[in-house]
Each structure stands twice: as C-alpha cells, then as structure tokens.
Amino acid sequence: MNRLWVRLALAFVLVTISGVGAFGLLANWSAAQAFSTYIARQEAFLSSGELDVLAAYYEDHATWDGVAAVIPGPNGGRGAGRNRPTMLIADSAGTVVFDEAGLRVGTPLTAEESARTLDVSVDGAVVGFVIFEVPDGAAAGSAFTPTQQAFLNQLQLALAIAGGISVAIGIGLGVVISRSLAAPLARTAAAAHAFADRDWAQRAPVSGADEIADVARAFNTMADSLQASEAARRSLMADIAHELRTPLTVMQGNLRAILDGVYPLETAEIANLYDETRLLSRLVDDLRELALADAGRLSLRLQALDLGAAVAQVGVQFAAAADSQEIRLIALPGAATVHGDPDRVGQALRNLVGNALRHTPTGGTITVELTEGPGVARVTVADTGEGVAADDLGHVFERFYRADRSRARASGGTGLGLAITKAWIEAMGGRVGAESELGRGSRFWFELPLAQG
C-alpha cells in the first residue's frame, strides 16, 4: 500500500527495531565482557587464598574493623582497575563492612547477593561473607557454570522482554504519529478533489506541522484566486451576452418593423441600424484587445513620444464636444518625453477624457494635466462630476464596470474603455490609478516611464 502514513509507520518500525537490536547486541556483548571479568576475579580470589587471610584476620581481631589493610591493592583495593567487579565484605549478619567503591558500607546485602556469597569461616563458624558485584547484564559463555549460565540467561530474557516492549511501543507510536502527520495531507487532498468537482467553496483545514499547514494555506490561496477568476469569468460571459443582446435586439426589432411595414425603408432607419452594427464592431474590437492583453500578445510600437503634444492634441479633439455640453476643458500639456506607443497612448487619453465628459454635468470642468516625477511622467484627468463611491472605486478598471449602466450605454460606452486603458498602459511598463470623492469629482491618472537619453 503506497500510503504516506504506512510508509512513515514502517520507517518508525524499522528505526525502532534497528535501535533496539543494536542496543541489545551492545548490551549483551558488554555484559558478557563484564561478567567474564567478574568470574575471572572471583576464581582468582579463591585460588589466591585470600579467604584464609580474611579468616585469620577475623580470628586475630574478632572484628572486621581495619580489614582494608589486608585487602590487595592500593587503599584496600580501591581503584584496582577500570571495569573490575567491586568486592564487598559483609559480617555474619549480612551487613557490608567493606566496599572497594566506598558506597555500600553499612547497608545489608540483597537476597540475590546473599545467594552467591563466599563464606569466611573460623573454627567452622561463618563470621563473614565475600561477594563480587555482578555487572548489569550478561551473555552466555561456555566457561560459565550452570548456575552462572542460568543467571546470564535470566538477564538475557529480561533484555529480550524489554526490547520487545520497546519495539511494540515504537510501532504503536509510529502508527499514531504517522497517521497524525498524514491526516492533514489527506484532508487537503480531499478538499482539492472536491474543488476540482466545482465545489468552489471547498477549503482545506489548516493544521499539522508548519510545512503541511503551509501547503493547506497555499491551496486555500489558490482556491480563492480560482474562485474569484471563475466568478469573473461568469460575470464577463453574462456581461458580454448582455452587451451583444442590446444592439442585436434593436436591429432585429427595427428590421422586423421595416419588414412588417411599420417603419418605412428610409435612410434614417438604415443609419440607425448602421450605428448599432458599429457598436457591435467596437465591442468585438475591445474584447479582442483585452484578450490579446491577457495573453501578453498586444502589438506595441514603442518609441520616444512627446507626451505633452499628445495632451494638447486630445484637448483640441474634445473641445467641440466639451463646448456642446457646456463643460470647460482645460489642457495643461507640460513637457515630457516617454517611452510608449503613440496610438495606444492617444487612445488611452481619449478614453479617460471621454469618460470624464460622460460623468461631468453642464457647467463642470475637466482638467488634463501633464506632470513629471522621478523617472516617470504622469497624466491626470480631473473632473467635477458626480464622483465614484468608495465601494466602487476599486472596480472602475474592471471589465464592464459601470456605476450607472443605463447612462453609459445610452452614451455609446461598452464598459471596457477603462479596462483597455489599464491593459495598454501596463503593457508599456506604466501604471494607472484613480481617486474620487462622491459628489465632488474624480481624478484618473496614468504614468509612463521617461524615455532614456
């Protein structure tokens, strides 16, 4: 089963078994070495006649006080060698009276220690005991007696049981930890499958380790973006259908009326139909421009451009329209040379000024001003119209956005002018923006980089 939690669990099991096995082998080897030393020293002690020396000492002194003087080795055997089993001497009551390590004096022997003592006898009476402390663990060896071997086997069994328990605990913890690590990923995968099935509201729970939580957060961010894109796509399709339906409905109605004899076949009616086809053609052209911009395939003829001359020209082009609406149009050209496409920049200016004319009432003022900043030139189109509400201001450069749809359509707009302006300016390395105060007018601007040299 190629599941992450299974593979993690198997990894935990392998590490646990390897660790316990290595520990067991090392402990068994170390215990065997230490126990061999213990047996060797005990046998050497027996063959050296030290028991007789201890018996003679007790017979002469009738006490074990000062017995360290007759123990071989410096300071009564202390520090007699690293890894040597420690020798203890206990009195007839089983209380330790001498300890090479200096740790057990005054303490009683344990039952296990009492079972393997060497007796010190005087005239047939046991007056004390000698014992060598056994190391913690052992391994089998052919040189051991049956009793010693049984002791070693018991220690090995204890090691095996402890190792088995450790392995079982390691396996259990491995399964639990691996499942807890893999569960957030499984939930994220389930959310991704649901999202792929067009459950746009589906999001992954953010939980688990930081890295896994980052994956869930990244998925949620992506889902938010895709959901917004899907909503925009649906809105765009609805807007396109709406915009196409309006002129088509007008043309169909007029043509039906002409066919039915309601309208005479006159030049004026043909002109109305022609105007509707022009609106359709303009809408299609605008959509094509936006599609090219989205694909990064806008055809631009970039060159050094006198932006001041473009501002002055747009002032002349819209002078008659402004006069007919009794709007004061002020052009402040300034002087700046930018890097841009003359046709696209001119159309962007016309879009902004045309937008200002549609939203400025009679008696208002529109100002087109060119200013220069660090590395850029800015064109600002300010009007004294109705302004844009704060909630709508962030959407003014979106496709088909209209604060007043009916008025924009009546004036011939498609709702794409500002979106196209933004696409063109950004394709030339610039940026656009807008500020507005409801009831007091708006300021739309764009910036382009200054031409070098």
Per the CB < 8 A criterion, the answer to whether 57 and 102 are in contact is: no
Taking only the tens place, the pLDDT of each residue in 37-55 is: 666 666 666 667 788 888 8
pLDDT of residue 40: 66
- 41 Cα distance to chain centroid: 63
| DSSP of 289-338 | HHHHHHTT------EEEEHHHHHHHHHHHTHHHHHHTT-EEEEE----EE
| DSSP of 413-432 | --S-HHHHHHHHHHHTT-EE
Confidence of residue 447 (pLDDT cuts 50, 70, 90): very high
How far is 275 from 241, CA to CA, in rounded Å? 19
Taking only the tens place, the pLDDT of each residue in 99-155 is: 888 888 889 988 878 887 888 888 889 889 988 776 554 443 344 555 556 666 776
Taking only the tens place, the pLDDT of each residue in 71-92 is: 875 444 433 444 567 788 999 8
Average pLDDT, the chain: 79
Choices 1.10.10.10, 1.10.287.130, 3.30.420.280, 1.10.1200.10: CATH for 210-293: 1.10.287.130
| DSSP of 142-187 | TTS-HHHHHHHHHHHHHHHHHHHHHHHHHHHHHHHHHHHHHHHHHH
Q: Is the pLDDT of residue 217 over 70?
A: yes
Rounded to 5 degrees, what are φ and ψ at 306?
Answer: -80, 100
The CATH code of domain 302-449 reads 3.30.565.10
Kindly provide the residue ranges of all beta strands, DSSP E only, lying in 20-91, ordered along the sequence.
Answer: 87-91
Taking only the tens place, the pLDDT of each residue in 183-207 is: 777 888 888 888 888 887 888 888 7
In the chain, what are the domain boundaries? Answer: 4-154, 210-293, 302-449
Per the CB < 8 A criterion, the answer to whether 21 and 163 are in contact is: yes
How far is 367 from 105, CA to CA, in rounded Å? 106
310 or 164, higher pLDDT: 310
